[in-house]
Chains A and B, each alone.
Chain A
Amino acid sequence: LAKTTQPISMDSYEGQEVNITCSHNNIATNDYITWYQQFPSQGPRFIIQGYKTKVTNEVASLFIPADRKSSTLSLPRVSLSDTAVYYCLVGEVGAGANNLFFGTGTRLTVIP
């Protein structure tokens, strides 16, 4: 399994763009990169998934460089409601438990 490394915590002011970087030096050819968001007392929620280059949806963007050894989750113009823990996961899609090992995540605090 590819190990991931993320910052433990980040602070940001409301309205700013937030970029959370995840390192995954041992990513395998068939691995995808997936990000989840978790609010207190709730289960994690899928945000975005990608394999290479850039993926964008209504919530976030995911940037993956050509070597795929890292990825960056970008949250545009954060609000207080974006305060949560963000997890980066790496693994094969549809391969059982291979893609659902969570680390400690990045605790994002949005400041008014």
Chain B
Amino acid sequence: NAGVTQTPKFRVLKTGQSMTLLCAQDMNHEYMYWYRQDPGMGLRLIHYSVGEGTTAKGEVPDGYNVSRLKKQNFLLGLESAAPSQTSVYFCASTEYTEAFFGQGTRLTVV
């Protein structure tokens, strides 16, 4: 049972480039989330999904887009990366009691 898997684990982007982060879960969870965590800070919710085909904005959605075409996958896209998006990105999934998190993607925008 792999749980929640994020790819890639590390990435360096140039300002203005685009990329997609993939989150995959094998627990058949309905709810999935994307967070960012800046140094010394807590997690801030970017976008979330309550089921296949649905997405909603969280606390800090600007500059990001998401898609949930399949129940097991939740994609986070950066259309035009900015240095302010340098952060560690975490994906999570949950059904009821506990949320399961991926190991994170460390993204640097130069």
Contact = CB atoms under 8 A, between A and B. Distances in A.
A87 B42 contact: yes
Interface string B84-110: 000010101011111111111000000
A105 B44 CA distance: 12
Main secondary structure of the interface of B (DSSP, over half): strand
Q: Which 7 A-B pairs have the closest CB atoms?
A: A43-B101, A46-B98, A102-B43, A104-B42, A94-B96, A97-B48, A96-B50
Interface of B: 4, 31, 33, 35, 41-45, 48, 50, 56, 58-59, 88, 90, 92, 94-104
Interface of A: 34, 36, 41-46, 49, 85, 87, 93-94, 96-97, 100-105
21 contacts: A43-B90, A43-B102, A43-B103, A43-B104, A44-B101, A46-B98, A46-B100, A87-B43, A94-B96, A97-B31, A97-B48, A100-B48, A100-B99, A101-B45, A101-B59, A102-B35, A102-B42, A102-B44, A102-B45, A103-B42, A105-B42
